[in-house]
Amino acid sequence: MSPLPPLKIGPVEIGFPVVQAALSGYSDWPMRVLARRYGASYALNEVMLDRFAVEVKGRGKTQHHLRLTNEEHPVGGQLMGADPDAFPPAARRLVECGFDVIDINFGCPVKSAMGGCRGGYHLSQPDVALEIVRRVRDAVPDRIPVSVKMRRGIDDTAESRDRFFRILDGAFAIGVAAVTVHGRTVEQRYVGPSNWEFLREVKEQAGERTVLGSGDLFDAESCLRMIRETGVDGVTVARGAIANPWIFSQARALAAGEPLPPPPTVHEQRETMREHLGLCIETYGPQKGFGAFRKFAIKYTRLHPEYEQVRNDCATVRTLAEWDGYLQRWYSEDAPGQYPLVDETAEASAGSR
């Protein structure tokens, strides 16, 4: 296999073209740092509403939303909102906080976003979407690239397709450095396969301009296959990276022509969970940190050879003391792990926004 060209987003050098997507409720500082340590060359913060990004303080209960550290760079900040006037101050705030790329979310399919005329709703109104892009591009310094996240349309109608390409072409004309496209429609949410053929069409239309693909990337092989089959410049791993940071190092190995690394052993899983929990406690404090970690803990069980029993036991753990006992019961003896089996129905609530 020929080597994968390194990814760039405008002037920002990303490198290996398999990166971590923005994940609402998940891609906080601990998850992003862990992804970077395990091979992701770039990660996006969980999406923030435009007004919240302006109002959030650098201290107290909400300070973690804007937490960045040196080992994260380059790192992207994602914004979502309804009013074009609210985007410029939010974008400037993210730049002041140290984000290297500003990403605009035109892809979120959840009811709260659609009902609030945010996220994927903008795919139905190209004029408003492009005004948002223009406002953000004008608001931030030239050295800060702006990118856009889209789905392939509201639905599968010809009108929806036309609106998609109007936004795509218009955004590039305004000066966005990259566009990420999820192969499902907003109407689909997370049901049915992601349309990779559409990604090929988008890349053919974009030409030399940077396009990233998204959708159905749950293992390292799929990440590389999307790049090679569609021609996109890179891929963003969303649900496939939750409690599975190894996906990035596995993709790097395959891209280098090496065999697929075995799944992490039980002891390797244990040490990574301890690392992840430590990052959560550093961010939120002991009690809230463990609370933030629990939604990841249940997903780490997918890699355990006795998955069902371990998952059921994990669901009962409520305190750090109980967590220590749980690790002793299930992770004290080493054994080969397994690649995580992903239930699309169960995962749908943890979608990339």
What amino acid positions are annotated as catalytic residues? Answer: 108
Name the nearest CA neighbour of 337 among 262, 275, 274, 273: 262
Do residues 30 and 71 lie in contact, with contact meaning Cβ atoms separated by under 8 Å? no
Half-sphere exposure (CA, 13 Å, Cβ side) for 6? 9
Q: What DSSP designation does 23 have?
A: B
Residues with Cβ within 8 Å of residue 172, at least 6 apart in sequence = 179, 206, 209
Distance CA 275, CA 305 (A): 21
Distance CA 273, CA 253 (A): 22
Distance CA 270, CA 292 (A): 17
* E strand or H helix that includes residue 215: none
Distance CA 278, CA 280 (A): 5
Name the nearest CA neighbour of 174 among 201, 217, 197, 140: 140
